Structure formats: structure tokens, C-alpha cells
Structure 1
Amino acid sequence: MCGIVGCFADRAFLRNGSDVLARMVEAIGHRGPDSAGVSLGERAALGHARLAIIGLADGAQPMAIDEPPLWISFNGEIFNHVELREELTARGHRFRTASDTEVILHLYAETGADCVNRLNGDFAFALWDARRQRMMLARDRMGVRPLFYTWHNGALLFASEIKALLQVPGTSVGIDQVALDQIFTLWAPIPPRTPFRDILELPPAHVMLIDGDGMRIRRYWQLAFPDRDEQPDTRSEADLAREARALLDDATRIRLRADVPVGSYLSGGLDSAIVSALAARHAAAGLRTFSITFASAEHDESAQQAEMVRALGSRHSAVSCDEADIAAVFPEVVWHTERPVIRTAPAPMYLLSRLVRNEGYKVVLTGEGADEVFAGYDIFKEAAVRRFCARQPSSTRRTKLLGRLYPYLHGLQQLNAETRAACFGIGSDALDDPLFSHRLRLRSTAGAKMFFSADLRDALAGYDATEEMASLLPRDFRRWHPLHQAQYIEATWLLPGYILSSQGDRMAMAHGVEGRFPFLDHRVVEFAARVPPGLQLRTLREKHLLRLAAADLLPPAIAARPKQPYRAPDSRSFAGPSTPDYVAEMLSPRYVREVGLFNPASVERLAMKSQNLQTQGFRDNAAFVGILSTQLWHAIFTGATSKPGSIGHADTRRTDPRVHRREFPLWRHSA
């Protein structure tokens, strides 16, 4: 796991490129604190900040092979590198290192850009083909590892994080207003947009090739489901459960490959418990586990965590998190997410990864992805019940089912059937709407846009983020089962755009920690996509097949536990006498007016409600956190003249990677 930077440019740009590339590497030194390097050529340059996990002694990057002349800067891990190395060696390839990075180079030498189809891993890499004078950028299938790019004075610049691109003199830091609207509707921008105008994201499962003929971007993998009328898999659920278990076990096994110890996150829920239990069976020296506990009872799962620790016999550490902790680190969170967020959930993950690193670990397994892949989210059950109720909207028997959806939301249980039906929008959405499953959530989130300024509203007039998302759905989408449609939306938009980014990669790599995701092994994802919907969601029992597959791994109480979504205290984290000074300054009418994105009077009223602990609804919570994070984002990244000195993100930039520089002699053979 590392950070990469680089460029494809002419000689004039690269003549003075060494210092710029070094600054880019230094800006993301937190991703790779172990070593760093920059290599320069006549048409391209690569830089690297290394987190040493595989091939500790000989895996320094940028890395090259001589024949054909290829160079690479690689972020991530290739989990099937052992098998690929054996195949390549049998075909005559000779390896100089024990690193998985070199495997990519040799595989590319055989198959060119199609090498990505053979890789089982989480990756983003830049590969320079000196013979073809071609740069290749690639990103993993599910979007675990990030990769951003921009054009500047005719040069293509790219990096693992946007803050590296901002080290290039003259790079634009203006806000993309459409991306902001998407965040306040969909929780994340639609790739290739980012909140930064003119800085783009390479989408997951895509490859970019750039050479003298121009730039081409293509998708190499697509999540797909069978037609709803297609003959389903006729195997028994027991057979399917056995296959699911075997695939998950192997996905976990190969994600334990490392030359450093590997730990595991343990939330107290089903998914991380399964991963930890499988990992414990392969960890000869015992398993190390880590978790977050909360001071607030509604968010805390420490009792379940303790039960799993006893069952696993793991050595365990936990970090306790309260509202004040969230507020204290929130500016750091925004610095690392590089985008506004509408929830505080990334903040506890930031504290957890700091604990992991302080305990001497660089790698952890997590249960992320199980909800998308095995239909675990409440929104899937909600959509099914809403469809059921919509067919007979006057039936009180049907609407009573709505009360069973969110047992942890006590206020919902107090509503009568009619009010509950209105809250869930029964009858308000067409059943053939491709976004039916998510319309309720999208409307609730977009309600926060009532705080947008008049100027921003005018600039966005006529734009609808949900319609853009709908226009990008696959051609076959309407032929899929409704559950599969909902899974696709979650896995394609929210998972890479928010969960794997703001809560995942950025929070872990802020402290040089690599997260690994067995549930996102593409073999597991492709298998689960073929499972009949009735075996994924059995009435209101989520993850039915996964529970069968893991029945013997877990204590009964954990195995039967219903979904408890990961949440953290939101607006109330910024209320009370211990509220940091930056909150009032960021939300002051003066600064809100200066930034110009929100209505100062409306924000002032919202802030007052927050201080009185009145912002408990979803819309107000999302609005408060979204506005505060946007104001922080603006102050941190635009260099605003009124930028407060109290937001304190400077520590994250205190890096000294001791960048080594070298020339690329292999590149000089061609003009």
C-alpha cells in the first residue's frame, strides 16, 4: 500500500519536474512513510511513497524491468501474485524481487493493458511503456484505491490524492458546483467529477492509455446481474452456501499474505466477525483485533465485540470515541477526505486507524462490502416492503411491516400506521422507477440543499443529480430483479464514492494503514451476483445465504444478530461547552457569506438549533455536517484569506520521506 504520483509531459515540462514531483510525493507521505522515490524521463515521470508490506527488502519503487523497458509506480496489493509469479516463471520470466509489483510488470509484458483482467487485488498504478511511449493508468474493479488526474499546461498529472496535484504551481482549486450538488444528493460525486474543478477521478474498473495518439479511457470490468426471467441457479441453498464459504475463506486466506503482521477490525456485527473468524483459522500465531467503542449507547457495540473476542481468543485493542473526539479530529478528516461529507462516520475510523498504527500494525482485514454483495443493508428490506405496501397502499396490515424495518430507531415505533406510511412515501414513487429503492433516501439527503445560497441555486438551475445517475445505469438494468437493481446502485455509487473512500482508504492511509476487503474479492462479488434474490433476502432476514455459510463460525447471538448499521454522533458532536472554536468561525455569517455556497441566515438558525441539541433529524444532521465540512474544505484547500488558524491540519503534512531521485535511462532511447 502506497501513494503514487506522476506525469506524462513534454521535455520542457519535465526539465524542471524533479522538485515538483518530490513535493507531490511529500504531500502524500502519510500513505507511504517507509521510503519514497522519484524517477524522471524525457516524456514521463513517476513518484512513489512506500508503505512496505510485501518484498520489504527489494520492493522499492518506482520499479523497472529491462526487457521490455517498463516502469511502474503501484499503490495497493495483488493478492494472487504468488500464483501469477509461478505461471510467469514457468513461461520463462525471471524475477529480481519478491514484490508483487514486479509481477504486474511481467504480466504487462505478456498481455499489455489486458493484464488488469488477471489481477485479484486492490490497486491503482501508473505504468510507463518506454517502447510504445505510452502511459497506462489503472484502477481496481470495486474502487478500493483512488487515482486522480488533471491537465496542466499540456501535461497530464496524476496522483493517489488530490493534495499532491495541488503542489503543482497553477493548479486550479476552484469548486465544482455540480459535484457539491451530487454530494448533497448522492453522498459523493459521480466520477470522473471531484469537488475540485478541473481535477478528475479515474473511475473504478477503468484503464487510461495515453500516448502520441491521445488519451483513451475504457472500462475493463462491469458488475452485472442475470435477467429476472433467466433460469435461476437450481443448486440447493446448502450447495450455494458451501461455495460462498469456500470463496470467502480463500479470499481471506490470500489477503493474509504479507511480510508484516495482519490484524482485523471487529465491529461487533456479522461481517467483520465472519472475516475475523476465517482469518483466525489461518493465523498460526493468533489474530490481533481492533475496534471502536462509543460513549453513546445507541452507537456502541462493545458487548458484541467482547463476545467475539472471547470466541476468537484474539488479542484485542479498542479506541473509545465520544462527541468531543469527533469534533477534535474533524478538520483532519476533511483534509484527508478532500471533499465535503454529510456524516461524521469517517472520524471514528480515523481514530481507529491511528490506534492500529500506534500498536505497530500496517495491515487490517475488514468486513466492508458484505452488505452490498450479500444484501445486508436495511434499504434493501425497506425497498421490498415499500413495493409490497405500494401495491395496496390502503392496507394497514401491510404498512405495519414498516415498523419492523428499523428497530433501533425508537421514534419510528411510536408512529401510527398512517403517519409511518407517509414517512416512507408509500404510493409516491412509480414502481418502475429505476431508482425506486433509493428515492426515499435521495429525497431525504437532498433536503439539505434548502440551505444552498441563491447564487448556487441559480448556478444549478435545471440540474438533477439523480437523473444523471439514472442516465448512467447499464442498458440491462431494467431487466434485473429489483433487489439486484438496488445492490447495483449501492455497489457502484455509494460504496466506492463514500464508504471505500471517505470512510475507508483515506482514514486508514491517513496513518499508513492498509485495509483489505475479502468480501470485495471479485470472485466473491461475481458469485453473489448470481445467487437468486430469495436466498439473499429471505422475507426480512438480510444476508440469508451468508448466514448459512458462516453458521458454524460464530457465537449464536452474533450469527443471528440483525443488521446494526455503523453510525456515529453527527451534529451533536459540535454542540456544548467543549465545541472547538473553528465551528463558530466556519459557520459565522461573515465566513458563510464569503464562501458564498450557503445562505448565512439559514445556516445561523441551523447552528443555533445544533447548539440546543435540536438537530436530530436526518435532514438537519446531514445539512449541518455537510455545511461544516464544506466550509472547512474551502478554508483548507482554497487558501482563503480568512482561513482560521485553529483548524489545525498541519500535522498531517509533516512528512520527511527522504525522496530519492534518479533518471530513467531506459526512456532515453526514443524521442
Structure 2
Amino acid sequence: MCGIVGVLNLREPQPVPEGILRQMLSMIRHRGPDEFGIYCDEWANLGNARLSIIDLGGGQQPICNEDGTLWIVFNGEIFNYIELRPDLEAKGHRFKTDCDTEVILHLYEEYGPDCLKYLNGQFAIAIWDTRQRSLFLARDRMGVRPLFYTVRNGQLIFGSEIKTLLAHPNVIAEIDRDALAQVFTFWSALVPHTIFKEVYSLPPAHYLLIREGNLKLNPYWELDFTVESSNRTPQDYLDEFEQLLIDATLIRLRADVPVGAYLSGGLDSSTTTALIRKYTQNPLDTFSIAFSDPDFDESEFQRRMAGILGTDHQVVYCTQPEIGQVFPEVIWHTEIPTLRTAPAPMYLLSKLVHDHDLKVVITGEGADEFLGGYDIFKEMVIRRFWAKQPDSQIRPLLLRKLYPEIARLGGSSETFLTAFFKKNLSNTDSPFYSHLLRWSNTGRLQRLLLHQPESSLERRISDLVPLPQQFESWSALGQAQYLEIVTFLSPYLLSSQSDRVAMANSVEGRFPFLDYRVVEFCNRLPTQMKLRGLNEKWLLRQLASKLLPPDIWQRRKRPYRAPIHRSFFNADSPSYVADLLSDSALQDSALFNPLAVAQLVRKAQSGAQLSEVDDMAIAGVISAQLVHHLFVREFSSRQSHLTDSDRVKVVNGSVNSEVAA
């Protein structure tokens, strides 16, 4: 795992001072603290910060092909690199290293952009072709690894994190208020947008080819939820799924360093951890989060699974004040406002991994998206069933099964739940039916914004969430899954809760459920193999029943959440909260209505029970104010530089010579 940066002259050759590349790299030292590499010529400049995991001694970047005409910097892992190499060698390619990075380079030399179809991994790639004077940038299918770019003063500037771009003297941060409105609807800015004006995210499953000053963006893979036509039995599906998930898990253990695992106590991580224990003899460290607040704590199930699997289990104990204390550092790494504090405990968890000298963990993200695990999918099923008889008094009672804790409260709570889910109940022809209720609810937060969107929510959704041509032919579940993946999985979950907070502590997450073979298999499944009635992840539960005790594999899914307003308003409230929410700070950022924020703060300070929307508002306002403070006002004070003690490999492409600094 690494971080990459680069500067490409689009119009005419001009030297880029090496110091700029060093400054850009220094901003992502956390992504790759082991060693650094720089390539520079009069057109292109590439940089890499390396976290050594494979070929520890020989994989330093940048790496070139046999004649020095192609140069690569790379962030990520290619899990099938061992299988790809022999065919390349048979075609005459000569290797200097044993790392996966060089396999990508020779694949590109052989197949051009089509090389991406061969890769099973999580990656952000930059390859400079000195003969064609072309730059190839690519990102993995699911968007596990980030890649950002901007064009300023005739230069394309790119990097694994936005702070690398801001370290370039031509790039100044400015909040994009339209993107802020997206965050206050979808939980994140939607690709290709970021929270900063004219800074873009390369979309998942796309590559960008830059030649003669022209940028051409191309897809190389797409989600397809077309259900296969077959007479296969449930056992047939289970057998294939089991073999795919076993292989997806085991190839993610490939590393020249120890690999650990996150263990949440839920179905997904328990299954992949059980597979590791069953099919390897490796000693295994597992890691989990325990909360002081019992409403969020699952440590009982975590300890039980660790005991059953015989792992060396470590726990980070997370309190509400700790979440508030680390929140500014979390936002520094996520680089975007958030409506949740959930990234903060994940940041503390990755720090625990780092403190135990591990660089790699297996984790369970993706199972909910591709196997129908989220409540939003079950809500959609109930509402579509209810919509067939909208006046029924019986059908909405299914909500009790989905939310038994609400039903137990009875009375007004249950009445409110029914009224909430009945909104736009009959609008089943809308392509956004499954998610419109959630987005409308979150969109209420926009009342806090100083500059609110003028167009309607549905109009903005249609503009921001383009639908593939075959979307209408998919099942209702397939449509809902697609929306969840493109608006939530990559923009928020794999970014703010995964890559960014893990790499903040130099830890690489690996995701067996996001192996593209597993994804394609799940997307072809009949609906009842994923969501059977209101039983989510049916096929995964059948597999888990062979590996886990019944109280784990039969357990109702519990969403991962973390305390919000009490993390900021408590006896030890961090001082930055009052500073950022002061009238002067709000006027300075000009993002929010100070009167609306003041009313929200008084409500939080009163100790009253806040609604979910108010909780999200607290997190959203504080995090947006932090983004403004860290990246717009005070960014220069956090800039750093590589030092003389850093291991830096410098390649001068103009003379094709290498020197070590």
C-alpha cells in the first residue's frame, strides 16, 4: 500500500521543482512511511510514498520497463499478480523485482488500458509513457483506493489525497457549496465531485488517458444486476459462493508481512475470519472496537468469536470524549464533512493495529451492499408490498419486525414510524424509490445551509446519479443495490470509514467481499438468494452456518454506529467545538445560517434526547467547519517536507539516470 502524486505539463515542457514533489509526498507520509520515490522529466513528474508489504527489499518505486520508456507509481495491491506473471514472462517480458507493481507495468506494455481487465485488486495507478507522452491514470472497480486530480495553469496535478494537490503552489482550497449540499443529502459528495471546487475524484472502474493536453475519461467495467437465467438449485449457488469467498479471502493474505483481521462480532467479519482459521495455519491477530456506551457496544459477541476462533484478540475501548478529541484529526484525513462520527472509532481501531506492528487487516465491507444486508433494502420490500394496498392497516405492521425496538415503545412512536414510511408510498415508478425517503429525510439538514439548492431534490438526484441503460430491467432489489453502491459504498464507506482512517495510521484494509468475482456472482443471483422475505444475506448465512455458532450466524444485523452529539457536548467538551460554532467562525466560513446553528447548539447543550436528523446536523456542521479551518484557513501551517533522513529514490527521466538521496 502506498500513496501517489504527480504533475503533468499539458501544453509545453517546463521543469517542476523537485521540492514541490517532495512537499506533495510529505503530505501523505502516513500512507507510505517506509520510503519515497520520484520520477521527473520536462513533461511528467511522478511520486510515491511506500508502505512496504510485498517484496520488501526490491519493490521501491518508481519502476520502469526494460527500456525505460514506461514508468509507474502505484497505490494498492494486485492479489492475482502471481498468476499473471508467468504469461508475461512467456511473452518475453523481463522482471527486475518480485512485486505486483511491475506486473501492472508489463501488462500495460502488453495490452494498454485493457490491462485493467486482468487485475484483481484495489488500486490507483499512474503510468507515464515517454514515447507517446501520455499519462494513464486508473482506479479499481469498486473505488477502494482514492485518486484525485485538478487542472491548474496548464498542469494536471493528481494525488491519492486532496492535501497533496493543495501542497502544490497553484492549488488553493475553496469549499464547493453545491458539494456541501450533496453531503447534507447523500452523506458524501458524489463522484466525480469533492468538497473543493475544481478538484475531482477519478470515478471507480474508470481510467483517465491524457495525451497532447487532452483528457479522456473511459469506463472499463460496470455494475450489472441482470439475474442469470438458470435452473440452479440453492445448493449450487452456495457451493460456488463458498469457493469464490474462500479464494477471495486467501489471496488477500498474500503479503511479506503479517496480516490481521477486524472482528466486529457480526456475520461478515466473523465469516471471513473463520475462513482464515479453517484454511490456514497462520497465527492471527484480530481487532475490534468496544464502546463505553452500551447502545453501540458489541464487545460481548466480539470476545465470543475471538474465543471460538482462537485468535489473539485486541480491543480499543472507545468513549464519547475520545471521539470528540480525535475528530479534527479524522477530518484532516477524510478531507470532507461527514454526518457521522463513525470514522473516529475506526481511526482509533487502525491506530491499535499500527501499535501492534501490523500493516494489513482483512475486513468485511461489501457484504451488506452485494448480498442485501441493509435495512433500506427491507424497507423497500415492505413499502412496495404496502403500496399495493396503501390503505391496509395490516401491511405496515411488517415494520414492527424490521424495527422491533420501535414497536416495543408503542403508541406515538409506532404511529410516527408508520406515518414516516407512508410518505410518497405509491410513487413506486420512481427509479429512486428505495432511497428517496432517506435522501429526503437527510435533505432536511439543508435548512442549516446559508446557500440552499434552488432545484428540487428529485431534479438534483437525476443530475447527480446517472442511471445505466439497463437499470429499468433490473429487479427492485438490484436497482436499490445499485443506488446504495454508487452513492454510499465508494463515496463514503470505503473512503471516510475505510481507506482514509486506516491509512492515517499506515494500515491497509483488504476486502474479500469486494473481490470483483464475488461481486459479479452476487449481482447475478436471484433476489431470494440474497433477501428472502425479510431475512437479509440469506446465502451468506447458509455458508456461515457451517462455520459459526447459531447465535452469530442467525443474529439480526446491527448497523455500525457511534455516539454523535454527546461526543462534542459533555463535561470535557473539546475547546475547538465552541470556537468553530461561534458566530464569528460561522460568519468567516459563510457556510451555515448562524441563527439555525445556534438553535441546534442550544438543543444539544440542554441534554435533551436529539433526533437522528439533529445528530447528523451536529456532525455535519462541526465537520464542515473543520474542513474550512484545516484546508482553507490554516492549511499552510500543516504543510511539511521530506527531510534529509528520508529514503528517497530520484529518477531524472531526461537523462534516464537514477540517484538515491
Q: CA deviation at 1:66?
A: 2.5
Q: CA deviation at 1:311?
A: 1.3
Q: Tell me the equivalent position of 1:461.
A: 454
Q: CA deviation at 1:25?
A: 0.4
**Structure 2 counterpart SS, 1:638:** helix
CA distance in 2, matches of 1:139, 1:282: 31
Q: Structure 1 residues 414, 359: CA separation in 2 closer, same or farther (over 3 Å shift)?
A: farther
CA distance in 2, matches of 1:62, 1:408: 55
CA distance in 2, matches of 1:433, 1:470: 15
| One-letter amino acid matched to 1:632 | L
**Structure 1 counterpart SS, 2:315:** strand
- 1:39-84: CA deviations, max 9, x gaps? 1112101100000000101000111112362100000000000000
**Structure 2 counterpart SS, 1:515:** strand
Deviates more, 1:10-19 or 1:44-53: 10-19
CA distance in 2, matches of 1:167, 1:344: 27
2:331 to 334, 351, 370: 334
Q: CA deviation at 1:351?
A: 0.2
Contact 1:108-1:115 within 8 A present in 2 as well: yes
Output the TM-score relative to the length of structure 2: 0.95
Residues 575-586 of structure 1: matches in 2 within 5 Å? 575-586=569-580
Q: Structure 1 residues 408, 495: CA separation in 2 closer, same or farther (over 3 Å shift)?
A: farther
**Structure 2 counterpart SS, 1:76:** strand
**Structure 2 counterpart SS, 1:281:** helix
Q: CA deviation at 1:251?
A: 0.2
Residues 444-483 of structure 1: matches in 2 within 5 Å? 444-453=441-450, 456-457=451-452, 460-462=453-455, 464=457, 466-468=460-462, 472-483=466-477
CA distance in 2, matches of 1:630, 1:652: 27
CA distance in 1, matches of 2:560, 2:183: 20
| One-letter amino acid matched to 1:249 | I
Deviates more, 1:135-144 or 1:574-583: 574-583
Output the TM-score relative to the length of structure 1: 0.94
Q: CA deviation at 1:92?
A: 2.4
Q: Tell me the equivalent position of 1:257.
A: 254
Contact 1:444-1:618 within 8 A present in 2 as well: no
1:629 to 604, 608, 623: 623
Matched, 1:303 2:300: yes
| One-letter amino acid matched to 2:616 | A
CA distance in 2, matches of 1:127, 1:412: 59
CA distance in 2, matches of 1:299, 1:10: 51
Q: Structure 1 residues 305, 667: CA separation in 2 closer, same or farther (over 3 Å shift)?
A: same
CA distance in 1, matches of 2:639, 2:559: 32
Q: Tell me the equivalent position of 2:541.
A: 547
Q: Tell me the equivalent position of 1:103.
A: 103
Q: Tell me the equivalent position of 1:392.
A: 389
Q: Tell me the equivalent position of 2:34.
A: 34
| One-letter amino acid matched to 1:115 | C
- 1:636-668: CA deviations, max 9, x gaps? 100269x9x9xxx79999997443423114779
| One-letter amino acid matched to 1:222 | E
Q: Structure 1 residues 632, 340: CA separation in 2 closer, same or farther (over 3 Å shift)?
A: same
Q: Structure 1 residues 148, 66: CA separation in 2 closer, same or farther (over 3 Å shift)?
A: same
CA distance in 2, matches of 1:502, 1:585: 24
Q: Tell me the equivalent position of 1:290.
A: 287
Taking only aligned residues, the RMSD between alpha carbons, in angstroms, comes to 2.2
| One-letter amino acid matched to 1:662 | V
- 1:620-648: CA deviations, max 9, x gaps? 0111100010001100100269x9x9xxx
Contact 1:396-1:417 within 8 A present in 2 as well: no
CA distance in 2, matches of 1:145, 1:175: 23
Q: Tell me the equivalent position of 2:512.
A: 518
Q: Tell me the equivalent position of 1:179.
A: 179
Q: Tell me the equivalent position of 1:124.
A: 124
CA distance in 2, matches of 1:252, 1:413: 44
Q: Tell me the equivalent position of 1:155.
A: 155
Q: Structure 1 residues 392, 657: CA separation in 2 closer, same or farther (over 3 Å shift)?
A: farther
Q: What is the percent sequence identity of the aligned residues? A: 47
Q: CA deviation at 1:172?
A: 2.6
Q: Which runs of 5+ in 2 are unaligned?
A: none
Q: Structure 1 residues 550, 324: CA separation in 2 closer, same or farther (over 3 Å shift)?
A: same
Contact 1:14-1:40 within 8 A present in 2 as well: no
Q: CA deviation at 1:555?
A: 1.3
Matched, 1:210 2:210: yes
- 1:203-244: CA deviations, max 9, x gaps? 0000000011611100100001116xxx63321111101111
Q: Structure 1 residues 26, 312: CA separation in 2 closer, same or farther (over 3 Å shift)?
A: same
Residues 574-613 of structure 1: matches in 2 within 5 Å? 574-613=568-607
Q: Which runs of 5+ in 1 are unaligned?
A: none
| One-letter amino acid matched to 2:126 | A
Q: Tell me the equivalent position of 1:500.
A: 494
Q: Tell me the equivalent position of 1:91.
A: 91
Q: CA deviation at 1:600?
A: 0.6
Q: Tell me the equivalent position of 1:272.
A: 269
CA distance in 2, matches of 1:299, 1:115: 44
Contact 2:407-2:414 within 8 A present in 1 as well: no
Q: Structure 1 residues 657, 542: CA separation in 2 closer, same or farther (over 3 Å shift)?
A: farther
CA distance in 2, matches of 1:244, 1:653: 46
| One-letter amino acid matched to 1:663 | N
Q: Structure 1 residues 223, 653: CA separation in 2 closer, same or farther (over 3 Å shift)?
A: farther
Q: Structure 1 residues 615, 35: CA separation in 2 closer, same or farther (over 3 Å shift)?
A: farther
Q: Tell me the equivalent position of 1:662.
A: 651
Q: Structure 1 residues 575, 417: CA separation in 2 closer, same or farther (over 3 Å shift)?
A: closer
Q: Structure 1 residues 95, 640: CA separation in 2 closer, same or farther (over 3 Å shift)?
A: closer
- 1:20-43: CA deviations, max 9, x gaps? 011000011110010112111121
**Structure 2 counterpart SS, 1:60:** coil
Q: Tell me the equivalent position of 2:310.
A: 313
Q: Structure 1 residues 554, 260: CA separation in 2 closer, same or farther (over 3 Å shift)?
A: same
Q: CA deviation at 1:549?
A: 2.1
Q: CA deviation at 1:86?
A: 1.8
| One-letter amino acid matched to 1:299 | F
Deviates more, 1:501-510 or 1:35-44: 35-44
CA distance in 2, matches of 1:50, 1:233: 46
Q: CA deviation at 1:153?
A: 1.1
Contact 1:125-1:138 within 8 A present in 2 as well: yes
